[in-house]
Structure 1
Amino acid sequence: MEFNLNNDDEMSIDKFELMLKTNEVGFFDSDEFEEIIEHYLDEGKMALARKAIHLAINQHPASVNLRLFHAEMLVFDDKFEAAHELLNELHDLEPLNSEIYIQKANIYSKTEGHDKAIELLNEALKLTDDQADVYSLIGMEFLFIEDYSNAKLNFMKCLELDELDYSALYNIIYCFDFLQENQQAIDFLNMFLNDNPYCEVAWHQVGKQYFDLKMYEKSLAAFEFAIISDDTFIGAYLEKGKVLEKLGRYNEAIENYQITLELDDPTSFAYLRLGKCFNKLGNKELALKYFKKTINEDPLLDKGWIAIVDYYSKNLNYPKALSYIEKAVEVDGENALYWIRYADLNKRLNFFEEAEYGYRKAIELGNYEEKTWTSRADILLALGETEAVVSNLNHGLEFYPEHVEMEYRIAGAYYMLNETVKGRFHLQNALKADPEYVIILEELYPSVYSAMEVQDLLLKYASK
């Protein structure tokens, strides 16, 4: 069966793929090649894009546009020197071609030369008919160097030229958020909405700004306008549900979360919020049902595991809570929040070795909260590992050098080890800071507390 690769009725991409399958070589004009290459680049099919570029340049070696695609592919493949050489050649041929400047800027961007990239993009801006895209690229370069004010200005210029560029709108709000300019963001969005009153994305963003400012009634109104603008906008229903929760209107929040389940595939976030709402309403059965749905939908969402563990803990079912936190650490053993709960639950159930392991893992994973150090110290003391108590608390005091509860604990441990000088030093620090916390010493180290030297120190500081 013969295929006519030059049949004008065939689509260019179909023709090209047919050619690859049959190993025949067909002719394509340069415009067809541009269409084919753009298609594969947009689809992320780089291997096919490379084949198309190679054949295109063989058939049209003088085409600047096709050679620009070659340069773009070289940049993508991090072959920067070859890309530079090719772009310099093309610049000699077409010094007013904006795409050449854009591709050169891309090289500098990928090699951390963001200032030079911005300079080149500003040159491209003078030459291009598509200024919106270039403003967006400049905005991204300013984001890379964390110049959020200039990034915001360029994204605003992009949006002025293309009001449907929602990525620019999101980037503008991202900059406002980073600069903590909530009210300025609201003012900007309201101006935008004057010209685009049915832009659901803008209403959604206004609602989020008001939410951050704890202006919940205004936030609610904004999300309702977003839903009026697009009654299938799942994000608006989710955010509206969050506001209704803040206002204590849990039944209405549930209605909004359930709408999202009808509009699209269920999300773990919606299940989690439904569980929280039913829990607030005292409907434990439905709360548990949705918490379980949350972890089934997304086993990597730590908030889901924590919700179900906390649910059982608050209902004093510690063995059940422990069984779930053990499942959680099997799924993600690098989550410090899991290990803290694992340790706390084992402590409650008097499984001290497991509790100590949990606190140790949490610390190894970067949980340096005060309570983690003190809880682990108390467990080590219960296990009779007094030297480990000292080591643990010395480490904790590096983070909290004036923490009075750690001072009392380490003082007691040093006295237990007969290191009286160190014990006295830490006990004096603790007594100077807050003598009322001496109850820690009395409860955890009763023999130390009753020792003559310690009692003398207590009397000395009590009289001050």
Structure 2
Amino acid sequence: MEFSQEEPNKVSLSKFESMLKTNNVLFFDSDEFENIIHHYLNQGKVSLAKKAIKLGLEQHPTSTNLKLFKVEIYVFENKLKEANQLLDALYVLEPSNEEIYIQKANILSKDDKHQDAIKVLNIALDLAEESSELHSLIGMEYLFLDNFEEAKQSFMRCLEDDMDDYSALYNIMYCFDFLNENDEAITFLNEYLDKNPYCEVAWHQLGKQYFTLKQYEKSLGAFEFAIISDDTFVGAYIEKGKVLEKLKRYNEAIENYAVTLELEDPTSFALLRLGRCHEKLGQIELAKQYYYKTVKEDPLLDKGWIAITKFYNKQKNYQKALYYINKAININADNAVYWKLYAQINHRLNFLEESERGYKRALELGNYELASWLQRADILIQLGEPEAASLNLIQAAEFYPEDAEIEFRLAGIYYSLLETEKASYHLKNGLTFDEELIFIIEEIFPMVYQSTTFKNALKKLHKS
């Protein structure tokens, strides 16, 4: 438990800390020790908690609760054998103490024996007067087992016992989301709100469910009710702003994002959204200011640097766009979209080697869009690497097996390499898939298009 200035237990805490400084041993009753230990564990001060347990057991050697704290420390320190031995001894003395079962389940869980932990917690459930915490613990064990349906049911039981347990409510929604049960989640939340109509958390979650289903007007209404329930709820203003953006009501979105800046310190997310809204409204300078504020607030936010990159890209200031895309890639080098944008910017600057590198990396990261394969091939052809271009296009054909753009490029490459048999094969494919796209050879391989070999092959294929 936490100690505040008003709590009598603060006297015990001060007295205990004074004792540690002076080495004078003072007497505390067992309840005082329990509160002191609780406080230190909540504060993460494990060494002080251990001292309190040691002194507590010296003064109260038969206290089960103090021994259970010792078990908790053993588990924290991964001394599972010692924890089990102490629990077994406590079980002999108090077989109906639910805390013994809870700690036993904690050990089993730490040993990845989650099903066994659930069995033990169910025994504790039969012994306990208050069941909310136990249902929550059982729910967490089911989550470890990826059994989201059972986890959801456990957290629902927890919420039945304590309507204000928002942690259980969030866990229920996590399960609904994982199971893709948006409609069921909406039904559940509406039933919950019938009983608890001013729960801002439930309205917020309801708004998110409607947003996922693209029911933006309903989503907007839910977030407005969340704000009515708690007009300092920053998350609701943020989500309401996102809905208003979807509805293209950018001025209203700006108003909601601006409220969050008044309620708490600026967040990079709110600043980024403000920048995008102003850009949508054509307020270019304001947009730029917010984008720069975003990366100043969070220099490691790659989305902030990408926003600036796209801003300068639209302004056709490709040198600055290149500078900022490099910053984004330095933060997140495994984003295929960033590498594709990097390739496009370099291409516009005629930095062909870097552009090819960008497309290659984007493809390696799973960006298998046809345009990426074709752009890389065209650049490799420009760089005088037809063999590499052909390998790239053959890979592309595995994803797009009947694409004329790929086939005509391969035909042009093989004619330029004087590999007429392969060239004729791909030319025939291209004509079969889409004859009108033959202009590709004329544009990319004008020498081939004018050659007698190509013209004769074309005539032959047309006759056949």
TM-score (norm 1): 0.89
Counterpart mapping for 1:163-202 below 5 A: 163-202=163-202
Deviation at 1:444, TM superposition (A): 2.9
Query: What letter corresponds to residue 60 of structure 1 in structure 2?
Result: H
- Indicate the residue corresponding to 1:261 in structure 2: 261
Q: How many residues align?
A: 457
- Asked whether 1:109 is paired with 2:130, we answer no
What is the correspondence of 1:4-153 to structure 2 with a 5 Å cutoff? 11-153=11-153
Matches within 5 A, 1:412-451: 412-417=412-417, 430-449=430-449
CA contact (8 A) 1:352 1:383 kept: yes
Which residue matches 2:5? none
8 Å CA contact 1:250, 1:277 repeated in 2? yes
Rounded to whole Å, the distance in 2 between the matches of 1:395 and 1:259 is 51
Q: CA 1:445/1:210 → structure 2, altered by over 3 Å: closer, same or farther?
A: same
2:232 is paired with a residue of what secondary structure? coil
1:368 deviation in Å? 4.5
Does residue 1:310 correspond to 2:296, yes or no?
no
1:287 corresponds to which residue?
A: 287
2:302–2:331: 8 Å Cα contact kept in structure 1? no
Structure 2 CA distance for aligned equivalents of residues 9 and 40 of structure 1: 13
Task: Go from structure 1 to structure 2 and tell me whether the alpha carbon gap of 1:447 and 1:53 turns closer, same or farther (over 3 Å shift).
Answer: farther
Amino acid at match of 2:299: P
| Aligned residues: CA RMSD | 2.8
Contact 2:415/2:454 (8 A) holds in 1: no
Q: Which runs of 5+ in 2 are unaligned?
A: 1-7
Distance, in Å, in 2 between the alignment partners of 1:455 and 1:120 is 82
Matched, 1:243 2:240: no
Contact 1:435 1:461 in 2 (8 A): no
Query: 2:162: which partner in 1?
Result: 162
Structure-to-structure mapping, 1:279-358, within 5 angstroms: 279-358=279-358
Q: Which moved more, 1:58-67 or 1:386-395?
A: 386-395
**Which is further off, 122-131 or 372-381?**
372-381
CA distance, structure 2, for counterparts of residue 50 and residue 399 of structure 1: 62
Whole-Å Cα distance in 2 between the matches of residues 81 and 15 of structure 1? Answer: 34
Corresponding residue of 2:276: 276
Tell me, yes or no, if the aligned pair for 1:299 and 1:331 is still in contact at 8 Å: no
In structure 2, distance between residues paired with 1:118 and 1:456: 78
What letter matches 1:90 in structure 2? L
Over 3 Å counting, the alpha-carbon distance change for 1:68 and 1:311 in structure 2 is same
* Conserved 8 A contact 2:12-2:32: yes
**Residue matched to 1:3:** none
Q: Which AA in structure 2 matches 1:73?
A: I
Question: CA deviation digits over 1:343-400, x for unaligned, max 9?
Answer: 2111111011222233344445554544433333322222222333344445555666
Query: In structure 2, do the counterparts of structure 1 residues 183 and 331 end up closer, same or farther at CA, with 3 Å as the change threshold?
Result: closer
Shift in CA distance, 369/92, structure 1 to aligned 2, threshold 3 Å: farther
Partner of 2:4: none
Alpha carbons of structure 1 residues 128 and 410: separation in structure 2 relative to 1, 3 Å:
farther
In structure 1, distance between residues paired with 2:49 and 2:428: 74
1:439 Cα shift?
A: 3.9
Look up the equivalent residue of 1:95 and give its one-letter code.
Answer: P
TM superposition shift of 1:418: 5.1
Contact 1:416–1:448 (Cα < 8 Å) also in 2: yes
Q: Secondary structure at the match of 1:282?
A: coil
- Specify the code of the residue in structure 1 equivalent to 2:38: E
What SS does structure 2 have at the residue aligned with 1:11?
helix
Query: Percent identical across equivalent pairs?
Result: 60
CA distance in 1, matches of 2:200, 2:313: 41
Q: Distance in 2 between matches of 1:356 and 1:384?
A: 12
CA drift at 1:312: 1.5
Question: Using the alignment, how far apart are the partners of 2:449 and 2:86 within structure 1?
Answer: 81
Mapped contact 2:441–2:449 kept (Cα < 8 A): yes
Deviation per CA, 1:150-178, whole angstroms, max 9, x where unpaired? 11111111111111111111111121222
Q: Cα 1:402–1:80, aligned 2, differ >3 Å: closer, same or farther?
A: farther
Q: How far 1:64 sits from its partner (Å)?
A: 1.9
For residues 413 and 128 of structure 1, do their structure 2 counterparts lie closer, same or farther at Cα, with a shift above 3 Å needed?
farther
Moved more, 96-105 or 419-428: 419-428
Distance 1:223 1:346 in 2: 43
**Aligned-partner Cα distance in 1 for 2:15–2:200:** 41
Structure 1 residues 456 and 259 mapped into 2: Cα distance closer, same or farther (>3 Å)? same
Q: Distance in 2 between matches of 1:417 and 1:133?
A: 74
- Whole-Å separation in 2 of the counterparts to 1:392 and 1:28: 77
Give per-residue Cα distances to partners, 1:410-456, cap 9 Å, x unaligned: 55445545555555555555555444444444433344555666556
Q: Secondary structure at the match of 2:265?
A: coil
CA distance in 2, matches of 1:115, 1:425: 61
1:347–1:9 CA distance, 2 compared to 1 (3 A): closer
Query: Structure 2-normalised TM-score?
Result: 0.89
